[in-house]
Structure 1
Amino acid sequence: MTRVFPMGAMGAKPLGPRPAKRRPSLLRTLMVQIGLVLVAGGILINSAFFVFAYNVGKRDFDSYMALSTQQMADTFTHQLWLFDLATTRRFCHMAVDSVNIAGIRLYDHNQKIIAESGTFPDKGTITIFRTLTYQDQTLVGYMEIRFVNTLFEQHLLITVLAACCMVLFTAVSSFTLIFLVLNRHLTRPLKQLHQEMHQMTSGSFSGSEMTGQKAEIQGLVNGFNQMARALAAREQSKQQAEQRLSEEKAVMEAIIQTLPGIFVVHVQGQGLVRWNDNFEVMSGLPSDQIRGKAITHWIDPAEREGIVEKLAAAFNTEASGGEFEAELCFKAGKVPYLISVRQCRIQGQKVTIGMGIDLTERKSLEVSLRRAQKMESIGTLAGGIAHDFNNIIFPMMGYAELLREDLPDKSFQKEAVEAIYRASVRAGALVRQILSLSRQQEEAFIPLKVQPILKEAVGLLEACIPRTIRIQKTIDSDCGLVVADPTQVHQIIMNLGTNAYHAMEKTGGILSFSLQTVEIGPDQGASLTLCPGAHVLLKVKDTGVGIDPAHIDRIFDPYFTTKLPGRGTGLGLSIVQGIVRRCRGEICLQSRPGQGTEVSVYLPVAETPEALPVEESGQDVLAGKESVLLLDDEAAILSVVSAILSRLGYRVTTMQDPLKAARLTSEELAAFDLVITDMTMPGMTGIQLNGRLKALRPELPVILCSGFSHEINGENIAEVNIQAYLEKPVQKQMLAKVIRRVLDEA
């Protein structure tokens, strides 16, 4: 997973906005302040009214008391002057009945109570003491009146409460009216403005513009609308830039993630800050363990010091970077990489960008290329020596065949000649084996029976291996056909038998061959990479030294061998495996040190009902009496082929110089029924000679022989107007059969 960290603040802790404290609304503040003003005004007005009402009430009450006192004084003065006490007492009782008078006392001139009515409490009353004089001259007594001030106080309280109610009503009405006015002309516009601003802070600039406000608010609204339009334009531009940046970032991220190798970004002092998924997967570490490590952390410690020096030298160049190979130590082990690094500065920091390509496949391809070049060299060498080597083998094989026909049976000489013959046949097979390895030998896949090939190969092995090794063979005569090259099947048996012989060369033992038909089921076929069905199973088992388990996995590798120098090339089992797999089969090997080895070869049974015959020795040889012109630059080959053809009854004329044969006239060519010529000769090739001869006598049949040729094979002879092609060395029986067929067809 890709990790991205900002270059300028790598390692710095981002600071977020502090949470804003909740502030009181403007309407609430204004209403509280106006309410306080109204309350204060009401208090002042109520206080003033109270003072005024008190003073007015006090004045009226004082006037009332003075008037009442004067009236009662006049009344009681007259009655006392007349000494009418009964009337005086009656008037006292009548006066006390008033709600404002609590009690009245009358005194004589000696201040003796002469009449009394009502109560005389100390609290809640006002006492007035009055001297009673008749006509302002004669003292007739005294009068004490207790006036009740409770009513005055109640009246004063009612007046104050009424004033308070009036003030409260006025304050509430004013407060409500002011609230409605402020809410309509101030709070609503401000709330709408606040909502628009909230939408803007959330990234929405599509709100409608505010209009129709008072001059003061409208100025603020106009400024806000201008700011909103400017912010909307800026936000649109910002969104477009962010979209472009996001697209570029996505493209860059996709490029980084789809790189075929690893990608890292290293910042000086901070270590790795970015990498792609490939690097995280290869390292096998979580991101928190990768972050901060040095770019050289994964380099093999044995190479680290040298790589650091290479990096320092590369960064000092004009390109400020370079390429080098190094092994990185990952979870899966050491992996070779081609690393490319560049250094630059981003926001003042030294940044190193590195990319690496896994060289594992490339190294493997290089090894494969070297092996292919080695195989190509072997093929070139094989093609170069095949012609000469086959020319050497051919006379040996031909003379051995002629001698064994002349020697008596069961004689030592015949056995020796038989051994020479088998050795020459084996030498020819060895050449074909080398050419097959280099893919210069054509493969002929035909339906065939393995039984006769196995019998022939085992017979050759019996003649070659020592008597200390006993050969056992179990061959099922009912085995089905397989589609393969007969020479390659022979090669498989010889290679496996030779390996078994080498494993028992010092100790001796038993070499077993078995051939049978087995049925491969789906489960077994999956484990053996075979198609279910019938297969011919060839087993080659020995009781030799066995194979070390450490070598089992490499036993089929080309050039791998555990044999001593000069005893093997390491190509035998590799060739066998290649042949078997080209036949859609499989080869398995089981071995234990000291207990021997068993090799199993599975070949699918062919669906073709009939097999092509495999040539075996001892068949009747076809003879003839025709005249044959034989050309070859090798005198030994001319001699042996001439002897073979003469023994078959043919009349033979030999030539070593193809140019001489090319100068023959048509009349001279008429004496020959067949021309057998070598492919490679001094001065002229067999194909060129064929053209010259056919120009003079088109119906003249020509057989071309060669130890090895890139130009001609058994499939393209018709293109050059040649009737047959034979590869040296040619056995007598094959030579006689081809000659007879060509002559009969002509």
Structure 2
Amino acid sequence: MKKKKRIFIVEDDLLFIRTTEKILKKLNYETCGSTSSGEEALEMIKGVSPDIILMDIQLKDKIDGIETAARISKAHKIPIVYLTAYASKDFVERIKRTGPYGYILKPFKDAELQTAIEIALYRHNMEKKLLESEEKHKSIIQTAMDGFFLADVTGKLLEVNDTYCNMTGYSRDELLSMGIQDLESVQKDSKRFVNLNAILEKAETRFEFRNRCKDEKIIDVEASIQYKPLDGGRLVVFVKDITDQKTVKKRLQQAQKMESIGNLAGGIAHDFNNILAPIIGYSELLLYDLPEESPQNTKVRNIYNAGIRGAELVNQILAFSRQEEHRLIPIRLQPIVKEVVQLIKSTIPTTIEIHTEIERTCNRVMADPNQMHQVLMNLITNAKHAVSEFNGRIDITLSAIDLDADNPDFHLAPGKYVSLSVSDNGHGISKEDLNKIFEPYFTTKEKGQGTGLGLSVVFGIVAECGGELSVQSEADKGTTFTICLPALEQLEHRNVSNENERLPEGDERVMVIDDEAPIAGQISETLVRLGYSVESFTNGIEALEKFEGSPHAYDLVITDMTMPQLTGDQVTSMLLAIRDDIPIIICTGFSEIINEARAKIIGAKALLMKPILRPVIAKTVRNILDAQKKETRSGKD
């Protein structure tokens, strides 16, 4: 059975109360109480909890019905219907402010009262459901993982959720006093206008923008926006922090870029080394032919030295671009500093002065040589960007130092260290930026001049070597970066081999295979001058056919790695299939396919990198042939 609606009556006419109670009973309502006093009504309804109140406007009490209704509405969510025989314009205005659910003029018919009550109850029920729905949606929005805000068409924020507060660092009250334009970073008004027009035209859109947080941190966000044509227009906006996502994307792009650079450098190294090989090889042979005092000797030596510098340059490019697993070994920083300075000089204007002060007696350090190349390259490149092209100066200093426990610049244990510093007379670094320069992707350079990875990478490499990186900077006076690495105990000085020593010779038979005729010719002539019998080929297939016809006609084979039709590793496998004891040397300008370990696995005795100097090939060939003879003798015994 449907429960009757409970009605409370506030009326100063007792006869009217009784008459109304009878009407309500007939209409199947229940009267849960009545009173002629507004103050009593405020107390009585607390205990009876009516579904609706019938309220007379004019009461013979301290407070009238309008004031009573206002207080009830403030304390309880109960619908109120006014009853009166007369109401002035002033009364009507006051009534409207209390949010009434109905208004009936006395006298009224039963049907009019029933209609007013049912409409008031229906409206109250709908408002209750709407409020519950709003609370439900508000709860969903407040607990959403994405940020949310509601704004008007001018951009003023009207509502925000907790996620957006946490995302930006602002409190809810702070955000509600702001507009979208206060949160957008480096967004021009014209761009903002275009975005707003796009939203109004499409009613729904999605785009990215940079959001400024309370701590001035900039985050990348993706905004999903809907336009609702209500109350003058509303923008419903959900925002997602995509800063980490974009950071990962940048790292992937940087990794792909470095991989591309490595592949490009490898290709250049192979071709360039093949070009340099005959230049260095033939000039080296000429130096042995020409008297040292002759002018021609000096000219050829210049050619030879230029070729050697070219080969060193290729090695430096490969060292810089190579992405391999690093290994910490005892190294001297002196040659690395010299190599990097030589390389960097070719990339900066000659108007920028580079000065070096290298202490020759510095002890070794535990580091990866390729990584130290990268460290120094990054620091000098940063210095280059900081100085003027007209009066710029970069100073590079390498020295041995002793640190004590009170050193203010480094938090390292007392002891012996190697200090490497790069100073410039550039614009300096602000105090604010000094705290951020080692963060990944932070950069003060213009777009396209840097990724912001350099100093963070340098910091990580130095820390991995057990050292520290410090920075001192002053605006308009310059910056100094200092690396401090633990020094190793001084090793005994080893005698350098005499450049004029007599090279080992021989009379064995050698096959040379290289698709570049000048290289094959140069290697052959070098070996012939050392006493060997040499037969050269520029085609791997022809060489294999000749070898297969008389496999014991040769004591050793030297083959290039990168050749058309057959590569050096394929030639090696086929030669060993014909004769399993033939010693083989593989030569390469550069190859991702072959390295010393793989060369050994496929059966080669050695891997030589082009250009190959005369002493290197002389000693390698002799050592392999001697080892082969020793192995043959021990096998017979």
TM-score of the pair, normalised by structure 1: 0.52
Q: 1:438 aligns with which of 321, 335, 344?
A: 321
1:644 aligned to 2:529? Answer: no
Question: Which residue number corresponds to residue 735 of structure 1?
Answer: 617
SS at match of 2:520: helix
1:388 aligned to 2:411? Answer: no
Shift of 1:630: 0.9
Residue correspondence of structure 1 range 705-724 to structure 2 within 5 A: 705-724=587-606
Question: Which residue number corresponds to residue 304 of structure 2?
Answer: 421
Write the distance in 1 (CA, Å) between the matches of 2:553 and 2:356. Answer: 55
Shift of 1:420: 3.0
Question: Which residue number corresponds to residue 340 of structure 1?
Answer: 224
The question of whether the paired residues in 1 share the 8 Å contact of 2:559 and 2:587 is answered with yes
SS at match of 2:585: strand
1:20 aligned to 2:68? Answer: no
Change (3 A) 1:534 1:414: farther
Write the distance in 2 (CA, Å) between the matches of 1:425 and 1:280. Answer: 63
1:304 aligned to 2:192? Answer: yes
Higher alpha-carbon deviation: 629-638 or 273-282: 273-282
The question of whether the paired residues in 2 share the 8 Å contact of 1:433 and 1:491 is answered with no
Residue correspondence of structure 1 range 595-634 to structure 2 within 5 A: 600-606=482-488, 618=499, 620=501, 622-625=503-506, 626-634=508-516
Q: Cα RMSD between the aligned structures?
A: 5.6
Change (3 A) 1:456 1:290: closer
Shift of 1:642: 1.8
Write the distance in 1 (CA, Å) between the matches of 2:592 and 2:395. Answer: 39
Question: Which residue number corresponds to residue 228 of structure 1?
Answer: none
Residue correspondence of structure 1 range 93-242 to structure 2 within 5 A: none
Q: Deviations over 1:463-514 (max 9, x none)?
A: xx99x9998755353x433234567768988999999999999889997754
Shift of 1:662: 1.1
The question of whether the paired residues in 2 share the 8 Å contact of 1:497 and 1:540 is answered with yes
The question of whether the paired residues in 2 share the 8 Å contact of 1:546 and 1:591 is answered with no
Shift of 1:280: 2.5
Shift of 1:517: 4.8
The code of the aligned residue for 2:164 comes to: F
The code of the aligned residue for 1:721 comes to: G
Structure 1 residue runs without a partner (length 5+): 1-15, 24-200, 202-241, 316-320, 563-567
Q: Deviations over 1:45-75 (max 9, x none)?
A: xxxxxxxxxxxxxxxxxxxxxxxxxxxxxxx
Write the distance in 1 (CA, Å) between the matches of 2:516 and 2:595. Answer: 21
Question: Which residue number corresponds to residue 428 of structure 2?
Answer: 549
SS at match of 1:722: coil
SS at match of 1:516: strand
Question: Which residue number corresponds to residue 165 of structure 2?
Answer: 280
Change (3 A) 1:668 1:255: farther
Higher alpha-carbon deviation: 403-412 or 720-729: 403-412
Write the distance in 2 (CA, Å) between the matches of 1:21 and 1:698. Answer: 112
Change (3 A) 1:21 1:696: closer
Write the distance in 2 (CA, Å) between the matches of 1:445 and 1:395. Answer: 35
The question of whether the paired residues in 1 share the 8 Å contact of 2:402 and 2:414 is answered with no
Residue correspondence of structure 1 range 680-695 to structure 2 within 5 A: 680-695=562-577
The code of the aligned residue for 1:705 comes to: C
1:481 aligned to 2:360? Answer: no
The code of the aligned residue for 1:735 comes to: I
Q: Deviations over 1:292-324 (max 9, x none)?
A: 766677454443322222222332xxxxx3312
Change (3 A) 1:521 1:694: farther
Write the distance in 2 (CA, Å) between the matches of 1:729 and 1:657. Answer: 20
The question of whether the paired residues in 2 share the 8 Å contact of 1:436 and 1:442 is answered with no
1:661 aligned to 2:543? Answer: yes
Change (3 A) 1:397 1:720: same
Write the distance in 2 (CA, Å) between the matches of 1:19 and 1:494. Answer: 83
SS at match of 2:604: coil
Shift of 1:273: 5.2
Higher alpha-carbon deviation: 292-301 or 692-701: 292-301
Question: Which residue number corresponds to residue 99 of structure 1?
Answer: none
Write the distance in 2 (CA, Å) between the matches of 1:459 and 1:631. Answer: 35
Shift of 1:598: 6.3
Shift of 1:349: 11
Residue correspondence of structure 1 range 77-92 to structure 2 within 5 A: none
Write the distance in 1 (CA, Å) between the matches of 2:288 and 2:278. Answer: 16
Write the distance in 2 (CA, Å) between the matches of 1:520 and 1:436. Answer: 35
The question of whether the paired residues in 2 share the 8 Å contact of 1:590 and 1:598 is answered with yes
Q: Deviations over 1:498-555 (max 9, x none)?
A: 999999998899977543254475976866xx787643234567xxx83332699889
Change (3 A) 1:475 1:630: same
1:263 aligned to 2:162? Answer: no
Q: Deviations over 1:251-308 (max 9, x none)?
A: 985884562x422245899975542334224555543343376667745444332222
Structure 2 residue runs without a partner (length 5+): 1-38, 47-75, 77-128, 629-637
Shift of 1:659: 0.5
Q: Deviations over 1:324-371 (max 9, x none)?
A: 22344553266542101346799x998754211234444444444444
The code of the aligned residue for 2:175 comes to: I
Change (3 A) 1:403 1:649: same
The code of the aligned residue for 1:314 comes to: K
Write the distance in 1 (CA, Å) between the matches of 2:369 and 2:502. Answer: 21
The code of the aligned residue for 2:540 comes to: P
Higher alpha-carbon deviation: 720-729 or 663-672: 663-672
The code of the aligned residue for 2:499 comes to: G
The code of the aligned residue for 1:291 comes to: L
Higher alpha-carbon deviation: 516-525 or 503-512: 503-512
Write the distance in 1 (CA, Å) between the matches of 2:395 and 2:237. Answer: 60
Q: Deviations over 1:100-146 (max 9, x none)?
A: xxxxxxxxxxxxxxxxxxxxxxxxxxxxxxxxxxxxxxxxxxxxxxx
Write the distance in 2 (CA, Å) between the matches of 1:651 and 1:561. Answer: 63
TM-score of the pair, normalised by structure 2: 0.60
SS at match of 1:663: helix
Higher alpha-carbon deviation: 327-336 or 673-682: 327-336
SS at match of 1:716: helix
Write the distance in 2 (CA, Å) between the matches of 1:289 and 1:667. Answer: 90
Residue correspondence of structure 1 range 501-650 to structure 2 within 5 A: 514-519=398-403, 534-539=416-421, 546-549=425-428, 600-606=482-488, 618=499, 620=501, 622-625=503-506, 626-650=508-532
Question: Which residue number corresponds to residue 202 of structure 2?
Answer: 314
Shift of 1:387: 1.4
The code of the aligned residue for 1:262 comes to: G
Percent identity over the alignment is 35
Write the distance in 2 (CA, Å) between the matches of 1:404 and 1:504. Answer: 44
Q: Deviations over 1:640-695 (max 9, x none)?
A: 22222233333322111110111134562212221110011121111111111101
